[in-house]
Amino acid sequence: MATPNRFFTAVLVFLAASFAHADEPAVRARPQPPVPEWKATLERAYRLEDGQVLRRIPPPHVPERFVYYRTEHAGQAQAITEPPDSFLFHVLPDGTLRNWGMSFHGGTLPLSHVLGHVLDLQSYEFEGSKALLSIDVLGDYVVRPDAPTEQKLTALTRIVKDASGRLVSFQKRQIDRDVIVAKGQYAFKPPAAAPGERSVVMYAGDYDRNSGGGGGRGDLPKFLKTLGTRVKVPVVDETEGPKPPEFQWMHQTSAYLEREQPGPAKDRKLRELLNNVEKQTGLKFETARRKVPVWFVTEGPAAG
């Protein structure tokens, strides 16, 4: 038990500390700079209503769009003076807009690009005739990325009708397809030709340290989805054990096998690519036939 002297000493120390803090100025949050008028105008013009999951803002655009391009993408604006044909904005849970990309398509924007870039459908997840997938739906897009795909496609049918006068529908079917099955447990190992590499590198044939092609970052499911996009074949995740929360990857130009015509040459390059990824990840990739969901783009109203 504390003695009286020790008790009063502790009280005095506490009071001294309290008075010392009382004399200090209160810590105040720094005032946030006011939102520029051009930005406030742009956000009003691009907002989504409650319950709205997808919106197209067709040209002509508000002048503030050009101010936004020069201000928020100054480096890009120095290289290319004219703004892109299309901006893509995601609506975050708190309602704010975040730019998610821009597209230069020579003054047009095909429906296939909206399906892939705006709705985030992979190339193997939708099919349609070249005539339908080429329908021009030029404009900027605002989307709630976490909204169900069905809702976004329903909104897209109205957008296509407004932009082109054509009525399309999207029907989901389970189709037997060639797939790649990923098995095993992830364990990163740099490619033998680049022992200092920190990213998984997708490439067919020999490693080319001078080859570009882009890259990304994310978890294992996102990586497998990206791999499927590069080869236009869905990847089924049957991996085991702990999964890495996040890692980086790169794809060299030789990995873009979706551009290859089906046949023995593409099959050989696909096996080379998968072998190279196996060596870096510790995973195993097998080909198989599975039923997978595919969205079919057709003209006319949806059946039923």
One domain for residues 194 and 149: no
What the block records as the tokens of 182 is 């990923």
Q: Is 229 helix (H, G, I), strand (E, B) or coil?
A: helix
pLDDT tens digits for 209-249?
A: 888 778 899 999 999 999 999 999 999 999 999 989 899 99
In this structure, the answer to whether residues 114 and 69 fall within a common structural domain is yes
Q: Is 121 exposed, middle or buried (0-12, 13-18, 19+ CB in 10 A)?
A: buried
Comparing 170 with 122, which gets the higher pLDDT?
A: 170
Integer Cα distance of 284 and 232 in angstroms: 18
Assess whether pLDDT exceeds 80 at residue 8: no
Residue 80 has pLDDT above 70, yes or no: yes
Better-scored residue on pLDDT, 85 or 123: 85
Backbone angles phi, psi at 42, to 5 degrees: -65, -45
Asked if the structure places residue 238 within a domain, the reply is yes
Residues 132 and 193 in one domain: no
pLDDT surpasses 50 at 14? no
Structure tokens at 29: 């949050």
Integer CA distances (angstroms), 231 to 210, 220, 295, in order: 21, 17, 18
CA dist 67 and 77 (Å) reads: 10
Domain end among 166, 192, 224: 166
Residue 34 lies in a domain: no
Amino acid 247: pLDDT: 96
3-state secondary structure of 270: helix
Strands of the sheet containing 126-127, edge to edge, are 126-127, 284-299, 168-184, 235-239
What tens digit of pLDDT does each residue of 108-134 get? 999 999 999 999 998 899 999 999 999
CA distances to 99, 141, 205 from 103, rounded to whole Å, are 12, 11, 31
3-class SS string, 112-160: HHHHHHHCCCCCCCEECCHHHHCCECCCEEEECCCCCHHHHHHHHHHHH
The pLDDT of residue 27 is: 57
The tens digit of pLDDT for each residue in 171-192 reads: 999 999 999 999 999 999 999 8
243 inside domain: yes
Same domain, 212 and 188: yes
Taking 60 as the threshold, does the pLDDT of residue 304 lie above it? no
| Predicted local confidence at residue 13, as pLDDT | 38
Cα end-to-end distance, the chain, whole Å: 83
pLDDT average, residue stretch 156-173: 97
Runs of H (alpha helix) within the chain:
4-23, 37-45, 64-72, 74-79, 111-113, 130-133, 149-164, 220-231, 264-281
* Angle, helix 220-231 to helix 264-281, in steps of 10 degrees: 160
Pair 153, 252 in one domain: no
Would 100 be classed as within a structural domain?
Answer: yes
Structural domain for 229, as ranges: 176-293
**What band does 162 get if pLDDT is binned at 50, 70 and 90?**
very high
Given a cut of 50, is residue 195 above it in pLDDT? yes
Which among 166, 188, 204 is the end of a domain?
A: 166
99-116 average pLDDT score: 93
- Segment among 22-31, 245-254, 274-283 with least mean pLDDT: 22-31
Would 11 be classed as within a structural domain?
Answer: no
Helix-strand-coil split of the chain, %, nearest 5: 35, 25, 40
Residue 153 lies in a domain: yes
In a domain, 22, yes or no: no
Amino acid identity for residue 276 in this structure: N
Task: State the chain's mean pLDDT as an integer.
Answer: 88
One domain, residues 152 and 55: yes
Q: Do 228 and 160 fall within a single domain? A: no
Identify whether 15 is part of a domain: no
Pairwise CA distance, residues 115 & 233, whole Å: 17
Which SS3 state, helix, strand or coil, does residue 202 take?
Answer: strand
pTM, entire model = 0.77
Q: Let me know whether 254 and 215 are in one domain.
A: yes
Total domains, the chain: 2
With vertex at residue 197, the alpha carbon angle to CA 192 and CA 199, rounded to the nearest 5 degrees, is 110
Q: Are residues 54 and 162 in the same domain?
A: yes
Same domain, 261 and 159: no
Domain boundary residue, one of 112, 140, 166: 166
Question: 170, 153 in Cβ contact below 8 A?
Answer: yes
Task: Quick: pLDDT tens for 51-72.
Answer: 999 999 999 999 999 999 999 9
Same domain membership, residue 130 and residue 72: yes
Same domain for 159 and 182: no
